Amino acid sequence: MASYYGIMVVEDKTRVKDYLNKTKLKYLDYVINPYVGCPNKCLYCYAAYMSSFSKHSEEWGEFIDIKHTNKKINTFKIKNKKVMISTVTDPYNSYEKKYKITRMIMEQLVKSEALITIVTKSKLVLRDIDLLKKMKKVEVAVSISLLDENLKKKIEPNSSSIKERLETLKVLKQNGIRTIVFISPIIPEITDFKRIIEATKDFTDEYWFDKLNLRSSFKTKMFRFIREEYPLYKTIYEDIYNKKNSKYFDEISDEVVKYCEKNKISYKNFYAGT
Ligand code: SF4
């Protein structure tokens, strides 16, 4: 058991058949998740459902399984395919510093002809800039939902600060790596996508958008957070997530499209299907 920023995290190893997993997710062919679990502990973590596929009784965010396999990644199979690292963990979470599973996977992918998309909230991705620079088709998506550091500490307690993420994007860009800002999740009344674009547009090639989905235990956590920190937004959240009113996000989606088209910004709006 290791302590990470005051949280006790149970570390374990798990053997898998293959790091590559086929996916039905939009825009993707394969996903690679080097870990099961994520110590970043974002309040809204949509990946918490993965707990039910693990043997752990600990809460999501309080265990991490380090994936091992002897099988090499079949780079022929993924030629010209789209591969995302990762979808249900941060591949550069704090345990990557010690175990280097993501780095080992990247070493296998250096000569691959696949489009590799790395999604992270961590400055640790810069450790692997030597590999990123050698890769044929690679892009790094840094997730940013808000710019306020104090709010970030409450909602995304264990990931890199916003300042570090902005700096990470800049360094990636300076090194010729394609950069994406993944504005995800769009947290109702909290995420200001225009301000995030303004703060990042000089070193970002593309923007991705996705909305906050709330289910099960993390819905309870987010609702508690809104009740305590932003009681005025309670009705809006109830309308969206209890009454299933799609109007709020439909309007944001229209705004995203208008703003990006007007400002000639390259974008993908994951929840509106554009
Ligand atoms: S970084 Fe992603 S997977 Fe990790 S806790 Fe946050 S939302 Fe979940």
Spacing, Cα 233 to ligand 1 middle (Å)? 24
pLDDT at 224 > cutoff 50: yes
Strands 30-32 and 82-85: parallel
The pLDDT value given to residue 8: 61
Band (pLDDT 50/70/90 cuts) for residue 2 is low
pLDDT at 178 (0 to 100): 98
- Distance of alpha carbon 117 from alpha carbon 87, whole angstroms: 10
CA–CA separation, 119 and 47 (whole Å): 14
**Residue 149 has what pLDDT?**
98
- Ligand 1, pocket-test mutation among 4, 5, 38, most atoms within 8 A of CB: 38
Model pLDDT, residue 39? 94
pTM of the model: 0.94
Residue 9 CA to ligand 1 center (angstroms) comes to 15
For residues 45-63, average pLDDT: 80
If you take atom 8 of ligand 1, which residue's CA is the nearest one?
45
Round to whole Å and give the CA distance between 34 and 77. Answer: 19
| Mutation choice for ligand 1 from 5, 35, 45, 142, CB with most ligand atoms inside 8 A | 45
* Helix or strand run (H / E) with residue 120: strand 115-120
Nearest CA to ligand 1 atom 6: 42
For the ranges 54-68, 97-111, 122-136, 220-234, the lowest mean pLDDT is seen at 54-68
Report pLDDT for 49.
Answer: 73
Please give the number of the atom of ligand 1 that sits closest to the Cα of 38: 4
> 188: CA distance to ligand 1 center in Å?
18
Domains defined along the chain, listed by start: 7-269 (3.20.20)
Predicted confidence at residue 50, as pLDDT, reads 73
Tell me how crowded residue 88 is: count the other CB atoms within 10 A of its CB. Answer: 17
Give the pLDDT band of residue 54 (cuts 50, 70, 90).
confident
Q: How far, in Å, CA of 120 to CA of 90, rounded?
A: 5
Q: Which residues on neighbouring strands pair with residue 267, listed in sequence order?
A: 207
Residue 4 predicted with pLDDT over 80: no
pLDDT at residue 273, as a whole number: 41
What lies within 8 Å, CB to CB, of 42 at 6+ separation is 121, 155, 156, 157, 159
Helix (H/G/I), strand (E/B), else coil: 159:
coil
| pLDDT-based confidence at residue 13 (cuts at 50, 70, 90) | confident
Q: Show the tokens assigned to 212.
A: 């906050």
> What is the structure's pLDDT at 107?
98
Which pLDDT band, with edges at 50, 70 and 90, does 7 fall under? Answer: low
Report the pLDDT value the prediction gives residue 217, as an integer from 0 to 100: 78
- DSSP structure string for 38-65: -TT--TT-GGGGGGGGSS--SPTTSEEE
pLDDT at position 216:
76
pLDDT at 234 exceeding the cut of 60: yes
Out of 44-58, 106-120, 251-265, least confident range: 44-58
DSSP string, 16-39: -S-SEEE--STT-SEEE-SEES-T
Which amino acids bring their CB within 6 angstroms of ligand 1? Answer: 38, 40-42, 45, 47, 88-90, 121, 159
What does the angle CA 41 – CA 117 – CA 202 come to, to the nearest 5 degrees? Answer: 90
Average pLDDT of the chain, as a whole number: 93
State how far the Cα of 48 lies from the Cα of 63, in Å rounded to an integer: 11
Q: How many whole angstroms from 158 Cα to the centroid of ligand 1? A: 10
**Arithmetic mean of pLDDT, 134-158:** 97
Distance, CA 155 to ligand 1 centroid (Å)?
11
Q: Which of 76, 48, 44 is nearest to 62 (CA)?
A: 48
Interatomic CA distance for residues 88 and 45, integer angstroms: 9
Over residues 203-207, mean pLDDT: 98
